Each structure stands twice: as C-alpha cells, then as structure tokens.
Chains A and B, each alone.
Chain A
Amino acid sequence: MGQTVFEPWNDPNVKPLIQFRNVTKRFGDFVAIDNQSFDIYAQEFFALLGPSGCGKTTMMRMLAGFEAPTEGTILLAGQDIAPIPPNKRAVNMMFQSYALFPHLSVWENIAFGLKRERKPKDQIAERVAQMLKLTRLEKFAKRKPHQISGGQRQRVALARSLARAPKLLLLDEPMGALDAKLRQDTQFELMDIQEKTGTTFVIVTHDQEEAMTVASRVAVMDHGRIIQADTPARIYEIPNSVYVADFIGEVTIIDGRATRSGDGYDIAYAEGQPPLRAQTDKTFQNGQACHLAIRPEKVAITAERPEGVVNAVQGKILDIAYLGNLSTYHVELPNGQVIKSQIVNTRRLSRRNFTWEDTVWLSWTETAGVLLEG
C-alpha cells in the first residue's frame, strides 16, 4: 500500500489556506507584485523562488503584515488579513538575519512570543522545552545568541518562530548564512520539522536547489509575477517557459520553427540540417517560432551515429566541465549552436572516452525535449 499522494492543489474540494486575489503592490512607480492570484494549501511547503528584486520578499512581507497590498486581497483561512496588524496574525516569520534578541538568552528568545500571549508560566516552560528538543538546542538554553554558532542561531530562530504554533510559517532565505555542507543537513532537518509540526511553510529563496529539495511546490518568480507554480519535478521536466527552463537547472535552448508532422513537430533550426523531432501537448502553427529546451542529462554522447534514434546531430567538443560525479560536455554544432550533454562518471577518469576537439554524435528521443513558444 502506497501513501496517499499529498496534492491538495489537484483536489477541488480542498479549501486553500492562503489565497492571493489579484494582488498588486507598488512602491511609488515600481511594481513589486503585478496582479497575482494563487493559492497555498494547508501543510504545504511552498517555495517562492526567483532572482533578487523579483518580488518574492515583498510577497512574504505582505503575508507577515509588514506591507499591505496596493490592490487586491489576501485571504488567510477565508479571512481578509489586510486589517490585521502583524502582532495579531496567526503567522510567524523567520528572518533572514534571524533577528534574535541579543540581550535575551536562547530560552528567553523562544519564550518571547509565548509570554506575549500571557500564557501560564508552566505552559510556557513546557512549550519552550518542546521547541528546544525539536531543534536539539537543550544544551544551549542559557546561552546568549552571540555565544552560539551560526547553525545553532538558525535553529533558535526557527524554534522561536514555531513556538506560537502559527498557522503559517514564513522563512526568509533561512539558509542564506550557512555554508554549503551545513545547508544540506539543515534542509532535511527543516523538512522533517515541517512534517512533524504539520505547519504550512512558505520559504523565500534564490537558491533553486534548496527550493527543489524542500518544497512541495515551487513558484518561480520574475519581475513581480509568478511564471510557474508547480511541483519540483514538473517545474524541471515540464517548464512552461524559456525563463523557467533556464532558471532551474542546466538546459540547452535551440531556437527554430515548428511544423506539424505526424504526432509531433519538425523543428527547423539550421539551414541544410535535417529537422529535429519533438512531441508536445501544445499546438503550434506551421512555421511558428519555437524553442526546444533539452536537459543535458537527456542527451547521449557517442563516437558513432547511434542506430534508430530520431534526433542525432554531429559536433565538436568545445568544453568539458568535470564535476566529479558528472561531466558536462559542451558540443558545438557546425551552425554554432552549443548543446550540453551530461554523463555520469561511472568509470575512472583515466578511461574517459572523449576529450577536447573530438567529433562526437549527440542524440535524444522525441520526448526528451520540451517545446516552448517563442
């Protein structure tokens, strides 16, 4: 028996926890958020991903209550949150700088929000102990923030924001200040804590790997708009635009013109070359400009032309990026187009087949590439 898949966004009966309804946010002339409508569901781990200045932090600050939308409404559990000040919202935020109170101990930092609720002392102590255990900070309860490490500080910030058991937890670049190794461990820890507490998490990040790792859905943003909001797998495999395809992972984009033929399309991309084949659910007019996006790991690299493949092109190796477990080959076609091919280095380096300037064949299947409108 497999577990039921967690996909509330596909279930029309589930009411979303957060609804953005035509939300626009302007700072003077600058449009930070441009007429956005989308839903976030309870217990989701929702990532807002984009380059700096794309509006993701503004989105988060509107949820926290530090900014109000210029137009449109934000509903939390069906209620418009615009008139509710930040200190009355069932929303807590973990700040990028952590914003730990330097004059208070770890224990007092975590208890800060609980004390504001005027809970009895023993209840506060119990809840703080629970949070300290969850974030493995029991030993550091009496220390001040400047007496603990960066990773520990990050966990204090998380414990503090979770202590009030918010309906929604906002995380602003939570791993920004951690080094790469610690970041990976923390990502899994964060997912674990999210699962244990059942809290809805919204995370803001510019690190696509982080978003893909932790999130149930990722919203890729650019210039105040959500370009695509979908599961990490669909974002990667079925990007809806060149922007998304290019932003997430490595990709080769081949520009061409589509012509319907059979159950797919022929893509003319260079004069004197046979067209490439691709299948898609989308419809293109004959001769319409299109982009074929191919992930490098879906492109095979061989010395001879492989038998029975639909797409095969010949080119010269321009560059090799050796990453240890993987190698990415940049292969230049006669028309100047560079296609990336990635292979797993299952063999030792000494037996590598190809080197610079070698002439090789690249091949991929009809369904490997994604055909996108121009």
Chain B
Amino acid sequence: MRRFILIAVPYLWLLALFLVPFAIVLKISLSDIILAIPPYTPTLDFSAGWEGIKAFFGALDLENFRFLATDDLYWKAYLSSVQIAFIATLATLIVGYPIAYGMANAPDHWRPTLMMLVILPFWTSFLIRVYAWVGILSNEGYLNQFLLGIGIISEPLTILNTNTAVYIGIVYTYLPFMILPIYSTLERMDASLLEAAEDLGCSRIKAFWLITIPLSKNGIIAGCFLVFIPTIGEFVIPSLLGGSRTLMIGKVLWEEFFNNRDWPVASAVAVILLLILIIPIILFQRNEQKQREADK
C-alpha cells in the first residue's frame, strides 16, 4: 500500500499538471470560435444533464485541423521551426563541445569556477538577457560600433531581425543545456584510455575521434535533444531578435491566441506541435535509458 502511494504521487502530479491541461487544450482545439468569454463553443453544461453532455460532444469536430492542413502558412511554420531548431542545435554543439572538453580537461581546482560561469546566466532573467542581445546586435549596437571602430567594416552589418540573430540568441540561451551533459560524460572518462590509444599507435587527434567522441556520444545526444526540443516551440527569441520573415511555430501560436483571439485554431496548432515533439522526446528518453543501463 505504501508503495502504491509512493508511485501514485508522480502519476497524480503528471495527471494534474500535464494530462488535464492537455485534455483542455485538446477540447478547445475541437471547438468553434465565437465572440464571447470564453471565446469558444461549446462549453460543458452539466445542468442540462445527459442531453447536455451529448450535445457537447456532438458539437466537437476536426474543422480546425482541416483548416491547418489547407492553409500552407502552418505547415511552412512547422517545417521552418524544425529547420531552425536543427541548425541551431548543430551550432550549439559546435560551440558547446569544445567548451565542455576544455572544462573536463581543466585542472581540478578550476572546475567548480568554470561550472559556475556556465550556470551563472541562469540567475538573471531570460527576457533581459535576450533584450541585451538587441543592444549588441542592432545597427547602432555594440558589435557594429566595435567593428566600425577597428575598421573591419565600413557599413554597419544588419544582424538584428534576421535568422542569424535568432541563431545567435538560441545558441547563447541553450548553450548550458549542451555543455553540461557533454561535460558530465567527458569528466567521467578515464584518462588512461587516451594513453592506451596513443600507445597502440593513434595520434592525439585520431585518439580524440576514436575514443573521446564515441565515449561522449550519450552526452552529445542528450545535449542535442535538450536544445532541439525547446527550440522548436521557442517564441521569445524569434519575436525579439527575428524579423518579419523568421517563421517559427511558437510565434504563429502566439499570434493566433493574442492577435486573432482564435483559441480553437491556436489550440490545434499547439496539439500538432506536441505531436511533433513526442518523437524526439521518446528518442531522448530512450537514450537516457540506454545510458543508465550502460552505467550499471
């Protein structure tokens, strides 16, 4: 019985904070838009009894999903989000791996400090940090002032409100999620493995490719998913740093909710987004599971 209670706690948690809200969103996505509060119909009316419940379910339909399929804005936004997330994840990996590698090979007494520096940005508001990039990347921003000052460029670069700015923002924001899992696999690696590889005829670089990279594979996969999954639905970064041509599903979702006040369509967008995310989330869980088994 005690065991049952112990297991029940996380399940109740999931039920209350994930499944119930999801059911509500799903229900709204099957409803129709009206000008009222709340701005959708039907609403469940228990006072009408059994007939009311029947009428409620009868009024639900898949019209909003059909609409999403016919308007190419939506699938283009999904595709563009996946593409941006993919490129940004790759960029984060390329920036993050050397940092994690450097941390893992730093002298022991330096490591807590380096770890602290990686985590430190989390202590300020995410919104403020993204706004700070507006100040850095804008035409009159610090970056352009600096480059003009040392004479590398004669015209200010247009970075803000382009996809480049979005990539910079994503790499900057999600870097710790990439660094930490990679660092933890590299740190656990036995240094004598590299000596053994060298002893058996590898150059240092070859040993890195044949030993270090494969042994940090689980960290790389975990880091990539931790960046990729939230980036697909990212809203703040594209809306602050991206331009009118930066198409991301998070932005579309926000506009449906707050500009069009079309809750049913917005909910349908959210449901599809969740379905898209389920695939990488399952893959991520699998990787974690495999790693746990390997650690045993």
A88 to B198, CA, bound (A): 9
Closest Cβ–Cβ distance, residue B289 to chain A (whole Å): 17
11 pairs, A vs B, C-beta closer than 8 Å: A64-B195, A66-B195, A87-B203, A91-B199, A92-B199, A93-B199, A103-B215, A116-B201, A117-B201, A160-B200, A161-B199
Q: Is A97 an interface residue (CB 8 A)?
A: yes
Closest Cβ–Cβ distance, residue B186 to chain A (whole Å): 14
Closest Cβ–Cβ distance, residue A230 to chain B (whole Å): 29
B residues in contact with A66, CB < 8 Å: 195
Q: Is B214 an interface residue (CB 8 A)?
A: yes
A99 touches B195 (CB 8 A): yes
On whether A95 and B195 interact (CB within 8 A), knowing A101-B211, A103-B214, the answer reads yes
Q: Is A151 an interface residue (CB 8 A)?
A: no
Q: Is B202 an interface residue (CB 8 A)?
A: yes
B198 touches A86 (CB 8 A): yes
Q: Is A247 an interface residue (CB 8 A)?
A: no
Q: Is A112 an interface residue (CB 8 A)?
A: yes
On whether A113 and B201 interact (CB within 8 A), knowing A101-B211, A102-B215, A103-B215, the answer reads yes
Identify the closest chain A residue to B215 (Cβ). A103
Closest Cβ–Cβ distance, residue A27 to chain B (whole Å): 15
A112 touches B200 (CB 8 A): yes
B200 touches A92 (CB 8 A): yes
Partner of A97, one of B190, B197, B199, B206: B190
A residues in contact with B192, CB < 8 Å: 95-97, 99
Interface residues of B in 67-125 (CB under 8 A from A): none
Closest Cβ–Cβ distance, residue A67 to chain B (whole Å): 11
Total contacting residues, chain A, CB less than 8 A: 25
Closest Cβ–Cβ distance, residue B107 to chain A (whole Å): 15
Interface residues of A in 190-245 (CB under 8 A from B): none
A residues in contact with B206, CB < 8 Å: 116
A87 touches B215 (CB 8 A): no
Closest Cβ–Cβ distance, residue A347 to chain B (whole Å): 51
B residues in contact with A291, CB < 8 Å: none
A64 touches B199 (CB 8 A): yes
Interface residues of B in 177-202 (CB under 8 A from A): 190, 192-193, 195-202
Q: Is A164 an interface residue (CB 8 A)?
A: yes
Closest Cβ–Cβ distance, residue A267 to chain B (whole Å): 50
Identify the closest chain B residue to A89 (Cβ). B199
A residues in contact with B215, CB < 8 Å: 102-103
B residues in contact with A91, CB < 8 Å: 199
Closest Cβ–Cβ distance, residue A84 to chain B (whole Å): 12
B201 touches A87 (CB 8 A): yes
Closest Cβ–Cβ distance, residue B191 to chain A (whole Å): 9
On whether A86 and B214 interact (CB within 8 A), knowing A97-B192, A101-B193, the answer reads no
A residues in contact with B214, CB < 8 Å: 103
A146 to B295, CA, bound (A): 10
A residues in contact with B199, CB < 8 Å: 64-65, 86-87, 91-93, 161
A146 to B215, CA, bound (A): 14
Closest Cβ–Cβ distance, residue B84 to chain A (whole Å): 32
A95 touches B202 (CB 8 A): no
B residues in contact with A116, CB < 8 Å: 200-202, 206
**B197, B198, B200, B217 — most chain A CB neighbours (10 Å):** B200
B196 touches A93 (CB 8 A): yes
A residues in contact with B294, CB < 8 Å: 146
Interface residues of A in 30-76 (CB under 8 A from B): 64-66
Closest Cβ–Cβ distance, residue A227 to chain B (whole Å): 29
A residues in contact with B198, CB < 8 Å: 85-87
A97 to B196, CA, bound (A): 10
**A85, A92, A103, A117 — most chain B CB neighbours (10 Å):** A103
For the complex of A and B, list the 6 residue pairs with the smallest distance between their C-beta atoms, beginning with the closest. A116-B201, A113-B200, A99-B196, A99-B192, A103-B214, A86-B198
B residues in contact with A88, CB < 8 Å: 201
Closest Cβ–Cβ distance, residue B207 to chain A (whole Å): 8
Closest Cβ–Cβ distance, residue B190 to chain A (whole Å): 6
Identify the closest chain A residue to B196 (Cβ). A99
Identify the closest chain B residue to A104 (Cβ). B214
Closest Cβ–Cβ distance, residue B202 to chain A (whole Å): 6
Identify the closest chain A residue to B193 (Cβ). A99
A85 to B202, CA, bound (A): 10
A residues in contact with B196, CB < 8 Å: 93, 95, 99, 101
Partner of B190, one of A99, A103, A146: A99
